[in-house]
Structure 1
Amino acid sequence: MTKQIQFFDTTLRDGEQTIGVNFSIEQKVELAKQLEAWGVDCIEAGFPIASKGDFEAVSAVAQAVKKTCVTGLARARKGDIDACVAATAKAAHKQIHVFIATSPVHRESKLHMSKEQVLKAIKDSVSYAHQFFEIVEFSPEDATRTEYDYLCKVIQTAIDAGASVINIPDTVGYTNPAEFAELFQYMQKKIPSFAEVTFSVHCHDDLGMAVANSMAAIKNGATRIEGTVNGIGERAGNAALEEVAAGLYVRKDYYDAVDRIDLKKTKAISELISRYTKMPVPHNKAVVGANAFAHESGIHQDGMLKSPQTYEILTPESVGAAKTTLPLGKLSGSHAVMTKLRQMGYSVEREDMQQIFPIFKNKADHTAIVSETDLREIMEKFEKVVS
């Protein structure tokens, strides 16, 4: 049965925790509108209790978007929840996101609370939040380092108190895809109400596995993915939502899942986030990087010229990127060079390349990318030889 996957964007909240990033209220509103147009199901606009600015930003976003659900983050405290109630009061669609840490290291070192005290805090805060919100999302922070049996007890307690979305955070990027799959299989067996609620995941990228872990969760019961555009966020960042979306698009056969993301708007939202954060997108970044659809190797260029499917599983057009490029360098082959020369208007045949290509190679050995100006100089040398 095909699954509907929800996208929960936390670029405006967790993404803003990136060192050096500080969105203005106007920027948050503009980003929220673009995220809504992209197809995001829920936008986490901020942490209302954290500051006056965060409260105002959540309130502004709540009023700006019309279709997408808006949420604020709250610790398992009455004051935090009250702030979320007030900040999202004018939202057309809203929820609340309540969290408390559950792992031994967090319970003992940060919270100084026993297991029983944490369970009581969950019951009290979720039931209180449920008085104001039809949709209450609960997160056991550092879930992947929490004892599995206790985690299941935590989750069932939250469900019994009124939570309809359970988010499983890999808060420090600790888990791996196989282990995360096992956790979901365990929860399905041990949590009586597992099938009655939406399960979400919030993966961090400390070990570079945030997207892989998110995809493993989808395969094993999760129907909501939390992350950020360009993977920005605390420390090494979050799961990059554009990569999750592209993965579901390319591998429909494997995940059997659909979503509301308009993939053709992906490059535009990525560039907007890059501009507002003043963080350039790495050239080798999957899906939206400048090199994602560029091929320099001669073998790859030859394959691309014969059939793009040889080396591209995703077209640039599908994510709103300009086009595939075949930059010429020292690894390029004669096929790509000949094709480029023909595009420039030169009448070049394969036999001509026997003399042109060695001149090209000599030039390419001394420059990173051979430009059109360089190619014209190469052709001038060739024409002198044959004249």
Structure 2
Amino acid sequence: MSETHLSPLPRLVPPSGPAGPDQPWWNAQRGSTMPFRRYRRTPAVQVPDRRDWPGRTADRAPLWASVDLRDGNQSLANPMDIQRKTMLFDLLVRMGFKDIEVGYPSASEADFSFLRELITRDRIPDDVTVSVFTPARPELIDRTFEAIEGADRAMVHLCHATACLWREVVFQMTTTDVERMAVTAAEHVLRRADAAGRTRFRFEYSPETFNITEPEYVLGLSNTVAALWDAAPDRPVTLNLPTTVETDHPHVFADQVEWMHRNLERRESIILSVHPHNDRGTAVASAELAVLAGADRIEGTLFGNGERTGNVCLATLALNLFSQGVDPQLDFSDIDGIRRTVEAANQMPVPARHPYAGDLVYTAFSGTHQDAISKGLRAMARRAEEADEPESRTAWQVPYLPIDPKDVGRDYEAVVRVNSQSGRGGIAHVLRGSYGLDLPRALSRELAEHVQRAADRDGTEVNSRRLWEIFSTEYLEPADPYLTLKDYEVSHGPAGTGLRALVTVRGGTELALLGSGADPATAFTRALTAAGIPAELLTLTQHPLTGAERPRATAGPASRTTPRTAAYGQLSATGRTWWGAAIADRPDGAELQAVVSAINRVHA
């Protein structure tokens, strides 16, 4: 590697140190200069008797708890105003969320005012529980209860950090001091709730930094707070276990959750919740395994917004269940509308490759992917027809697409898109979907070569309109045609098909042709050969083409509603084979024009 290649990135040092111990010969990687020895593995929780979660399967949705309006909002460069908060709250309600954390009213006047507006304007549905977040400080708890005053029902969410690093560095407190703080705050919450009048309160407790706190210590704190709040089956306490900073493999968190699940007192009176963050990029996996390990509830945000790399993405979790035949109990039938609303509220884009919601996640550019998807969609249509049922009810089995894009409000228009990486199958799929053309395999392979050259030359994606232009120029409307069919007449008799045709040859010469054969196209090629334009018809196919096959009106063969016919002919001439294609009002006209198209390509 030359010095010029390295100069834009002077910090990079190509790894050249010793290989790792027991590194196999086929792994040529070398030791790097990265300061990895500064970091220590987090000790895994030991579960000595058994580990049950690996043998379980998710068969139902957990209780989804949106923290978009609190944890998500805190992480925004421009926190939401009341209008954006209201827009997002209304979306969450319409989607079916029943547990929504609406803010941190003791820390933000905007959060306080938003909560007051929800309550005074009676905007909270009867079956929705709103929760409000508060640290373990009496004056902040008091402010929180001022914000929630007059609500029919609410959950107060008490949170404080418990891990050793936070105790020693942030709080400068002992384990006893932290427990005393937790007890004092929990008692204060209870007193304020008892004095609050008609509001029906529930409580949530989050030992923040749970995943790096000593298990026995956090278990003791959780049992103490649940007992203080008199957790009971008819008024359960939500115990929320956050991976405040994700530090380990998802299976380690699952072990921690299962250990708590087994050892908690009053387990039947506890809603066991998890709040995974995504620092290692495995929040979704951590949440899914935590549910298998005993969690009842998941806190997260719709598309994973949150501090650092974000909270767990509830859309991904819910649609993962959906893709396995489990009701997510949330409505994602308009994924693009949901995404646009969240983007407007957060003023942040959802990436194009975000699972299920990104612009490109149902799109294939690769030729092999396109071919498989196209065949899968056609097989789906055949199965639906054989079962005499709508495709929307047919079991979904399409390569590369874990769910039907239509189930989340997308159409098939963008499932296959063409660029220089695309192949025959993708091109054929786009022409079929956009224009109703069902090209023979060999013709679509030939067309793919022309499209590849155009894509390489243009350096851009070939959309359906550009694809139509390439196809039309090559097969339907040549710039300088050698042969033009001016008129024809077909007759059918016992001996076969007779043809009279008038054609013009390049330069203006007119030829009157007579021919016969098994069909008009055969008769036409024989007449052309007799007139000195030799060709042999090898194959000819045709199919009806109607406006109903087009999803939208654009320039192209099916922009009208009267039935038309597409035909594709393969000729042998000048020692090789040539394809032609045509679209006409009548089937015999389309077949004759397909022969003309091939002849024009012979003499191009």
Shorter-chain TM-score range: over 0.9
* Corresponding position of 1:370: 462
8 Å contact from structure 1 (residues 152, 187) kept in 2: yes
Larger Rg: 2
When normalised by structure 2's length, the TM-score is 0.60
Structure 2 distance, partners of 1:267, 1:216, is 28
SS of residue paired to 2:68: coil
Shift of 1:106: 0.6
> Which of 66, 80, 86 is residue 9 of structure 1 equivalent to?
66
What stretches of structure 2 of length at least 5 have no aligned partner?
A: 1-57, 194-199, 232-236, 378-397, 479-596
Structure 2 distance, partners of 1:338, 1:347, is 7
Structure 2 distance, partners of 1:263, 1:273, is 13
* Corresponding position of 1:64: 123
Q: Which runs of 4+ in 1 moved over 6 A?
A: none
Structure 2 distance, partners of 1:130, 1:39, is 30
> Which of 318, 328, 332 is residue 407 of structure 2 equivalent to?
318
* Corresponding position of 1:338: 428
Structure 1 distance, partners of 2:296, 2:129, is 16
* Corresponding position of 1:112: 172
Structure 2 distance, partners of 1:306, 1:340, is 12
Structure 1 distance, partners of 2:465, 2:202, is 60
RMSD over aligned Cα atoms: 2.2
> Which of 358, 363, 372 is residue 303 of structure 1 equivalent to?
372
8 Å contact from structure 1 (residues 126, 161) kept in 2: yes
Compared CA separation, residues 287 and 2, structure 1 to 2 (3 A): closer
Per mean C-alpha deviation after superposition, the further-off stretch among 74-83 and 308-317 is 308-317
8 Å contact from structure 2 (residues 274, 297) kept in 1: yes
> Which of 328, 341, 346 is residue 277 of structure 1 equivalent to?
346
* Corresponding position of 2:306: 233
SS of residue paired to 1:229: coil
Shift of 1:344: 2.4
> Which of 350, 355, 359 is residue 446 of structure 2 equivalent to?
355
> Which of 272, 285, 306 is residue 212 of structure 1 equivalent to?
285
* Corresponding position of 1:138: 205
8 Å contact from structure 1 (residues 69, 92) kept in 2: no
Shift of 1:322: 4.0
> Which of 329, 332, 347 is residue 260 of structure 1 equivalent to?
329
Structure 1 distance, partners of 2:438, 2:59, is 52
SS of residue paired to 2:207: strand
Compared CA separation, residues 26 and 171, structure 1 to 2 (3 A): same
Shift of 1:295: 1.4
8 Å contact from structure 1 (residues 35, 269) kept in 2: no
Structure 2 distance, partners of 1:353, 1:321, is 26
What stretches of structure 1 of length at least 5 have no aligned partner?
A: none
Q: Counterpart of 2:376 in structure 1: which amino acid? A: S
* Corresponding position of 2:163: 103
Deviations 1:105-159 (A, max 9, x none): 1111111111111112222222332341631100001110101111111111111
8 Å contact from structure 2 (residues 129, 153) kept in 1: yes
Compared CA separation, residues 259 and 282, structure 1 to 2 (3 A): closer
Structure 2 distance, partners of 1:304, 1:221, is 38
Shift of 1:182: 0.7
SS of residue paired to 1:286: coil
Q: Counterpart of 1:368 in structure 2: which amino acid? A: T
SS of residue paired to 2:352: coil
* Corresponding position of 1:90: 150
Q: Counterpart of 1:5 in structure 2: which amino acid? A: P
Per mean C-alpha deviation after superposition, the further-off stretch among 299-308 and 133-142 is 299-308
Compared CA separation, residues 51 and 279, structure 1 to 2 (3 A): closer
Compared CA separation, residues 9 and 299, structure 1 to 2 (3 A): same
Structure 2 distance, partners of 1:84, 1:315, is 44
Deviations 1:179-214 (A, max 9, x none): 011101211333222332001111111111111111
SS of residue paired to 1:299: helix
Shift of 1:346: 5.1
Deviations 1:27-68 (A, max 9, x none): 212211110111112111111111322211222234422131
Select the structure that is richer in strand: 2
Q: Counterpart of 1:376 in structure 2: which amino acid? A: W
Structure 1 distance, partners of 2:406, 2:430, is 21
Structure 1 distance, partners of 2:178, 2:267, is 20
Shift of 1:266: 4.1
8 Å contact from structure 1 (residues 166, 200) kept in 2: yes
8 Å contact from structure 1 (residues 28, 57) kept in 2: yes
Q: Counterpart of 1:272 in structure 2: which amino acid? A: T
Tell me, yes or no, if structure 1 residue 42 matches structure 2 residue 99.
yes
Shift of 1:259: 4.8
Q: Counterpart of 1:303 in structure 2: which amino acid? A: A
SS of residue paired to 2:356: coil
SS of residue paired to 2:70: coil
Shift of 1:328: 0.8
8 Å contact from structure 2 (residues 85, 345) kept in 1: no
Structure 2 distance, partners of 1:138, 1:265, is 34
Structure 2 distance, partners of 1:59, 1:266, is 30
Structure 2 distance, partners of 1:110, 1:345, is 66
Compared CA separation, residues 142 and 347, structure 1 to 2 (3 A): closer
Shift of 1:298: 1.6
Compared CA separation, residues 315 and 330, structure 1 to 2 (3 A): same
Compared CA separation, residues 356 and 267, structure 1 to 2 (3 A): closer
Shift of 1:84: 2.0
> Which of 128, 132, 137 is residue 77 of structure 1 equivalent to?
137
Q: Counterpart of 1:152 in structure 2: which amino acid? A: L
Structure 2 distance, partners of 1:214, 1:4, is 12
Tell me, yes or no, if structure 1 residue 176 matches structure 2 residue 249.
yes
* Corresponding position of 2:297: 224
> Which of 65, 80, 83 is residue 23 of structure 1 equivalent to?
80
Compared CA separation, residues 265 and 60, structure 1 to 2 (3 A): farther
Structure 2 distance, partners of 1:262, 1:347, is 36
* Total equivalences in the alignment: 383
8 Å contact from structure 1 (residues 32, 61) kept in 2: no
